[in-house]
Structure 1
């Protein structure tokens, strides 16, 4: 068995991309074969210093990649983030500190670059808290039983003077980026989408022609002709034994920047002929959807789980980037075993924003950096964390004050898996 010291962790070379992809797929229990198309695509956005491999005697046994991202803070400010992804350790090399070394290297580089936070989607819950990440958003998927929903089958379009049109991939690439930017300016937790994202999701860049299925794409325009919503979905081809259509529509993406657009797009999808079930994809936990139906119980939660995890790298910058629900001051003792941002900070907050600086004043609330990450986007409750023993009050009422300052009226949400 190789010792920890024998494992070489370093940026990979371009000629090692195929081997790196193979190791990544092996770590995710996927068929390890690698196509030339996968190698070419990875090469087009290959950033050596942010693509790490763990090598044992020349064999890649661990993978780690990060990329530049922006995540929207409460109040609409985009914040520079180090997005972590493609993290694996081969089963033969577990428990040798490989992930710890790769993570420490990447987070130190992100801190040096000036990134405010790091983000990731956790495949397994127990792993990332020990590196200072906290679960900051939740995703919920509903399955709608359309016949039970109580919707009028005679519906023929939006009642507000708007309209819905089907568009192709070219049309989505023209209107989608600007519409998504509008959503990103108002919804905490939403992350940026680059040109490649739109190319891959709309068929402009097809990595595997054998598995590509062109989706349906519907646009909602208000009475003035302005685009306010975009829905992307597929429909399976399933019929019952007695020639009864029992098709399921699966939402791949839905952007709505107004309640009218949200209402119209859900109503449209539930009116498509032969569709008896709708799977919504991951939505915000306080999505309007169930209560847009005459019978909200027709929308059943089928998945509910943590989604984006946040690791604070710069406490002052993170807390100054967002706005607050009330006016007040709070002294925080932030504990960080990773040594990146621990210390005592005074937050002076108001609805217009806040200032956060290091202080020698007595701490009023003590919490780990992972708990601060969970609180940053406004979804978690400091009172709840205190009840769980994860936050400690040095002054009575400090957790309640933290909730009054940090929590948001609508819950944060990220529509993307990255």
Structure 2
């Protein structure tokens, strides 16, 4: 496995103390070019796990940061895989190119592997940084902007709800949201858990290191029995074209456990007075929203679509043994990993039930890939055939890329709506 790089210029990489949390938070804000942000110590404490909040110290000055916290990733089939969620990664501009990120990442990945976390995940601020640490883009945030004039409403033949919609307060959102999300995320590969810090940020009950928050609206859907089956969190921009309303409804969170619920919530959003367009920055790549509209062409791609969750496999047998597969099959992967965690030749095979394993083998390989590509393929959202066409993997047996896609394919595309 990878070893920590030797210290450079007398800079020490170590876990911070409780008393250093404020200075660490200030270093994160400065590293992201956001000087002057509030310390937000209460929020920082919620994700400050012993030994997992790292600082690069030059004497008493923090010049680099990285932290992680435990989470669970929903994998194909619904199992929850223990992962390390990495965030707050910065190096001060005056201390770049000194190997500080290498040292912090080496320490974190080694720690995650020792803790039994089979993978690490992060959201990459810059595309070009994390492939060298074995991370590959594994989910996308593919949003939509719906022009309501062109949409002409939702189709009349869609199933109608026998339940009801209710606007709720932020306190009620904190009550209903966690349980609803736990139900939702178990059906969507790529989803992660939402901790107390998430819900306190979402409901505005904690100071955040960022711009001033404007309280959104929240509406929940209840079925005929009164059970909450969906929620929509949104804000409306007070925007006018002269004397005519031209408002934009921006969706911040959308969860629906079934089609009836989704239809009810989207009909609500798309029929609001004054609103002329609905903007959803993050939506599953295979979400059926356009097909619910009378005119699907009215739903256009959001201008800020991008790769979202990046994934790094740390324990190949544990990670690939946790998920299920589209059907029986086998493929031998020859994996190159400069940090060593996924290196080797692996026989990935599944039976007719969808249960599978990844075991070391001496068989001839079908595909040659690196650790970053392994991370991209793991949840099934990326195609081996596409990566082969992009020269990101090497097909050593004709048809092996397609065979891999058939094995790793999923009914629902991997999707994670949450940053961290």
Aligned to 1:393: 395
Structure 1 moving runs of 4+ over 6 Å: none
Q: What residue is the counterpart of 1:215 in the other structure?
A: 216
Query: What's the counterpart of residue 101 of structure 1?
Result: 103
Name the SS of the counterpart of 1:402 in structure 2.
helix
Is 1:7 aligned to residue 8 of structure 2? Answer: no
Whole-Å separation in 1 of the counterparts to 2:64 and 2:154: 54
Shift of 1:315: 0.5
Q: Secondary structure at the match of 1:310?
A: strand
SS in 1 for 2:142: strand
1:368 corresponds in structure 2 to: 370
> Is the Cα–Cα contact under 8 Å of residues 142 and 303 in structure 1 kept in the other structure?
no
| Distance of aligned partners of 1:209 and 1:97 in 2 relative to their CA distance in 1, 3 Å threshold | closer
Q: Identify the residue that residue 4 of structure 2 maps to in structure 1.
A: none
Residue matched to 1:263: 263
Distance (Å, rounded) in 2 between the aligned partners of 1:12 and 1:124: 25
Once the two structures are TM-superposed, the CA of residue 206 in structure 1 deviates from its matched residue by 4.5
The gaps in structure 2 that reach 5 residues or longer are 1-6
Contact 1:73 1:321 (C-alpha < 8 Å) held by counterparts: yes
Cα shift at 1:44: 4.4
Verify: 1:148 aligned to 2:170, yes or no: no
1:27 aligned to 2:31?
yes
1:11-410 to 2 correspondences below 5 Å: 11-35=15-39, 38-151=40-153, 159-207=160-208, 211-241=212-242, 243-301=243-301, 302-350=303-351, 351-410=353-412
Distance in 2, matches of 1:101 and 1:206, equals 31
Task: Give the TM-score taking structure 2 as reference length.
Answer: 0.93
Could you say if the C-alpha distance between residues 168 and 307 of structure 1 is closer, same or farther in structure 2, counting changes exceeding 3 Å? same
CA distance in 2, matches of 1:196, 1:336: 34
* Structure 1, 196-205 or 90-99: larger mean CA deviation: 196-205
Q: Which moved more, 1:198-207 or 1:292-301?
A: 198-207
User: Secondary structure at the residue paired with 2:81?
Assistant: strand
Secondary structure, aligned partner of 1:303: coil
Distance of 2:159 and 2:171 partners within structure 1: 25
Q: Deviations over 1:184-224 (max 9, x none)?
A: 11100000012232222123334489923221111112334
TM-score, normalised on structure 1? 0.93
Distance of 2:160 and 2:403 partners within structure 1: 44
Asked whether the equivalents of residues 206 and 212 of structure 1 are also in contact (C-alpha less than 8 Å), the reply is no
Please report how far the alpha carbon of residue 412 of structure 1 lies from its aligned counterpart in structure 2 after TM superposition.
0.8
Give deviations 1:339-371, integer Å, cap 9, x for gaps.
122111111213431022112222222211110
Measure how far apart 1:307 and its partner are.
Answer: 0.4
- Computed over aligned residues only, the root mean square deviation of the Cα atoms, in angstroms, reads 2.0
1:45 deviates by 3.8
Distance 1:72 1:303, change over 3 A: same
Q: Matches of 2:8 and 2:35 in 1, distance apart?
A: 27
Secondary structure at 2:240 match in 1: coil
Residues 136, 208 of structure 1: alpha-carbon distance in 2 compared, 3 angstrom cutoff: closer
Per-residue Cα deviation, 1:115-158 (whole angstroms, up to 9, x for no partner): 010000001101000100010001112111112211179x9x98
SS across alignment from 1:60: strand
Q: Which runs of 5+ in 1 are unaligned?
A: none
The CA distance in 2 between the partners of 1:158 and 1:271, in whole Å, is 17
